[in-house]
Structure 1
């Protein structure tokens, strides 16, 4: 397969980049060179730049919940990460530590995992104090409890997850934060790895960075009947082609298959997805491919928020067909029943073993 061609042999269309209608910037963010550079990129794209008079975000609320959602989703806010963001939190089962370059996402996924997790309107906040964020990471090396202490994953070293509360590639053309972070890890002489997952395909600016294989780019993908819930993202075929380009550039890559749903004819649909992934990586030399398997779940709070954001959605969130689970934080979530989970897990483990035999399954959840 030619590196410049899509899976169907046609030339891949150029990635579609998000252009926020307006950009809010706080006085504190303007003090950072990185923050000012973000404004320059946004201005070049034609976004309206609004300099706030205080470090508090304003002007996001609308006349109703839907208008507030639209206002937030068309806005980028350039702010300074608060001190709490510099106190890193573990992020099992993905990585040792969560490092936030931003918070919020421009996509319109009807199952959005951020719904109910982040307070207020879903504005995308990007952090201007990137040098401070990166300079803070060294104190956490060797102190993790996920990969650092796992017999199966200890070879990854201390891992840092950069996509817990955002899709960093979806906003990279505006921030430049991801490229800077990859370069930081690439030059960092320590047993560390950077990880992020994305539903976008604009990887070209990252391909020439001297990453030294210390970054794993995972592409969040889904079967066609489930991918229809992912508005504002790159097509799955484009994501798989981007995974190919990243792997050819020497990056460790991964598939995050999520959220897995027992949709109609789900076995055939997910089998096709795995075959497409195999086609995208078939002739890549020195391929390092991981797979993470995440089933759909929701909380009472996230269901309420999502129903407000997407009132016409037919996403299945029927509590009567689910099992109620209590998390370690004493909150509750609804997951598939044990029979459904067992059946789907067995299918994926067998299908991945036969279709992507070199891939490592990191976890099922």
Structure 2
């Protein structure tokens, strides 16, 4: 069975500036029965953001509430791992409920999708940036020929495509940028994307983990077997499809589970999919604030994610304090994981692992 449809929008918090734009009008017309509440900022909605009493309604809010705003920051941030640059995303937040997601740390106790209506501004900024860069003359681990832009750092574009045509417009844009590719990771199989005709200019990264763990921490997502079954179809539709093993969670028996997952991947993929396959590997990073939020709606997940006996505190590049696996343990775990991956999927390039 496919994952349930993740949206049942009943309330939309609307920035009037967004409502005046054509894409904003399209989104409002897509949900005509939803209650509309005018707000001055998509980042500061009293009674929604920072309200600890809403944590019990975590799943309902994600499905039933949408925030419609305007993207103000249009900068391209250098990356060097998943992409060369992080593009200004057209959404923030997600209707899916992965327990380890870092985006809720910035919003408090409610994390519905905030989607942005000024798609033309973002596409203009992307085109200008790619044109200034010119050709990519030196290959790097991100891509040997194209500048890669991650479009979904703070959302899942397969879900965003249920809300508006923003994703289709972005895939269409990158067909016209000969020196650039779009990229995004997803945990939701939206087969409408198969009609977008990316012509090899969009890289879709299917996130994978052992199914038994995904059932606990990947709430509302497409089941792992459904993601695996979709890979060949997306390759056939013109996408470059990579794998995103993220987050890798350490628990008793984790290496046995990943060995089985790698064998499931091998059995599922066509020769065409295998020939273009690459992967990125990211071990779990957790956070005390997110831990407290999760205890309010999904404490079972924290038995996997919050393991202080194996974790240590480390300050992030943005100044926050996160929990990561202890240095020695993590180094051994990364080495063991990549050894297993290369043994079971020798045709899969590991672009990076940490």
**Which residue, out of 115, 118, 123, partners 2:112?**
123
Contiguous gaps of at least 5 residues in structure 2: none
Deviation at 1:214, TM superposition (A): 0.9
Query: What's the TM-score, normalizing by structure 2?
Result: 0.87
Q: Which residue does the alignment assign to 1:349?
A: 338
Q: Which residue does the alignment assign to 1:9?
A: none
CA distance in 1, matches of 2:196, 2:230: 15
Aligned length: 344
Residues 232 and 270, structure 2, Cα contact 8 Å, conserved in 1: no
Q: Which residue does the alignment assign to 2:320?
A: 331
Contiguous gaps of at least 5 residues in structure 1: 1-12
Query: What's the TM-score, normalizing by structure 1?
Result: 0.85
Residues 288 and 322, structure 2, Cα contact 8 Å, conserved in 1: yes
Q: Higher helix proportion, which one?
A: 2
CA distance in 1, matches of 2:212, 2:335: 20
Runs of 4+ off more than 6 Å? none
Q: Which residue does the alignment assign to 2:155?
A: 166
Deviation at 1:111, TM superposition (A): 1.6
Q: How does 1:134-283 map to 2 (within 5 A)?
A: 134-141=123-130, 151-188=140-177, 190-202=178-190, 204-227=191-214, 228-283=216-271
Partner of 1:217, secondary structure, is: strand
Q: Which residue does the alignment assign to 1:79?
A: 69
Partner of 2:48, secondary structure, is: coil
Partner of 1:325, secondary structure, is: strand
Q: Which residue does the alignment assign to 1:5?
A: none
CA distance in 2, matches of 1:326, 1:30: 39
Deviation at 1:187, TM superposition (A): 2.2
CA distance in 1, matches of 2:292, 2:283: 20
**Which residue, out of 268, 273, 295, partners 2:283?**
295
| Range that drifts further, 48-57 or 246-255 | 48-57
Deviation at 1:327, TM superposition (A): 2.9
Deviation at 1:141, TM superposition (A): 2.4
Deviation at 1:93, TM superposition (A): 1.9
- Identify if the C-alpha distance between structure 1 residues 15 and 72 changes in structure 2 by more than 3 Å, giving closer, same or farther: closer
Deviation at 1:97, TM superposition (A): 1.9
**Which residue, out of 76, 86, 98, partners 2:86?**
98
Residues 170 and 199, structure 1, Cα contact 8 Å, conserved in 2: no
Residues 258 and 294, structure 1, Cα contact 8 Å, conserved in 2: yes
**Which residue, out of 27, 35, 38, partners 1:52?**
38
Deviation at 1:286, TM superposition (A): 7.5
| Range that drifts further, 192-201 or 170-179 | 170-179
Q: Which residue does the alignment assign to 1:26?
A: 15
Residues 86 and 153, structure 2, Cα contact 8 Å, conserved in 1: yes
Deviation at 1:305, TM superposition (A): 3.1
